[in-house]
C-alpha cells in the first residue's frame, strides 16, 4: 500500500528541522497531502555505570514546557557514523567515555510525520571525562539504579519516548525484567 509522491514543496528551512508538504496518490487513486518534518538522524544511548545505575539527564524541554528525564541523545554530525555520534554525545551530555558500545537497534521517532531515525546504543565500562555540554543545553546528570527504572516509567516520571524505547530494548537485551 505504498503512496506515490506527486509533488513536494519545502515550506520551511530551519537550523534543526525542515518542513515540507507532499501531495501523494494513495493506493486506491485518491490524492491527499502529507506534512513532513525533515529531521536528521540521531543517536540515543543507554549508559550503565559500574554500580548498575542508568545514567539519565534532566533538562528543560521548551516544546513541552517542562523538565524531562531522558537517556543521553543527540544529532549525528554530517559525515559522522552513528557510533561516532553516540560516543561524542555520551561525552558531551554526561561526561563519560564508554569502554564498550553495543548497538541495541533503532527506531523512527514519529513516522507519521517525521523522517528522524534514532540509532540506539548501550554504553558500558564508563570512564569519567570532562563534560563538554553545548552552550544552549543545561543538563543535570542523574544516575538511577537500574532496578528503579520500571517504576519511573510506570509512575510517569520518565515519559520521553526514546528513553522508554531505549530502556525496553535494554530489558530485552539483558533478558531481565529490571529495566
The pLDDT tens digits of the residues spanning 32-78 come to 999 999 999 999 999 999 999 999 999 999 999 999 999 999 999 99
Is there a contact between 49 and 98 (Cβ–Cβ < 8 Å)?
Answer: no
Look at residue 138 in the predicted model and tell me its pLDDT.
85
Look at residue 179 in the predicted model and tell me its pLDDT.
47
Is there a contact between 11 and 18 (Cβ–Cβ < 8 Å)?
Answer: no
- pTM for the complete prediction? 0.90
The pLDDT tens digits of the residues spanning 77-113 come to 999 999 999 999 999 999 999 999 999 999 999 999 9
The pLDDT tens digits of the residues spanning 111-147 come to 999 999 999 999 999 999 876 655 667 889 999 999 9
Look at residue 133 in the predicted model and tell me its pLDDT.
57
User: Would you list the DSSP string of 43-88?
Assistant: EEEEEB-TTSEEEEEEEEEGGGTEEEEE--EEEPPTT--HHHHHHH
Q: How far apart are the first and last CA of the chain?
A: 36
**Short-list 71, 13, 63, CA closest to 39:** 13
**Residue 27, phi-psi category: left (phi > 0), alpha (psi -120 to 50), beta (remainder):** alpha
Domains of the chain, start order: 4-38 (no CATH), 42-174 (3.90.79.10)
Task: Return d(Cα 86, Cα 119) in angstroms, integer.
Answer: 8
Amino acid at each position: 500500500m505504498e503512496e506515490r509522491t506527486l509533488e513536494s514543496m519545502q515550506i520551511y528551512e530551519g537550523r534543526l528541522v525542515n518542513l515540507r508538504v507532499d501531495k501523494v496518490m494513495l493506493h486506491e487513486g485518491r490524492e491527499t497531502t502529507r506534512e513532513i518534518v525533515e529531521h536528521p538522524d540521531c543517536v540515543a544511548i543507554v549508559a550503565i555505570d559500574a554500580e548498575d545505575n542508568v545514567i539519565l539527564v534532566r533538562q528543560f524541554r521548551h516544546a513541552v514546557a517542562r523538565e524531562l528525564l531522558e537517556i543521553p541523545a543527540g544529532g549525528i554530525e554530517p559525515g559522522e557514523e552513528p557510533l561516532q555520534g553516540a560516543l561524542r554525545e555520551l561525552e558531551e551530555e554526561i561526561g563519560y567515555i564508554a569502554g564498550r558500545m553495543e548497538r541495541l537497534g533503532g527506531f523512527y521517532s514519529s513516522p507519521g510525520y517525521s523522517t528522524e531515525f534514532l540509532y540506539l546504543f548501550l554504553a558500558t565500562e564508563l570512564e569519567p571525562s570532562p563534560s563538554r555540554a553545548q552552550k544552549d543545553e543545561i543538563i543535570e546528570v542523574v544516575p538511577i539504579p537500574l532496578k528503579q527504572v520500571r517504576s519511573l516509567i510506570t509512575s510517569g516520571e520518565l515519559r520521553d519516548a526514546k528513553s522508554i524505547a531505549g530502556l525496553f530494548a535494554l530489558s530485552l537485551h539483558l533478558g531481565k525484567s529490571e529495566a
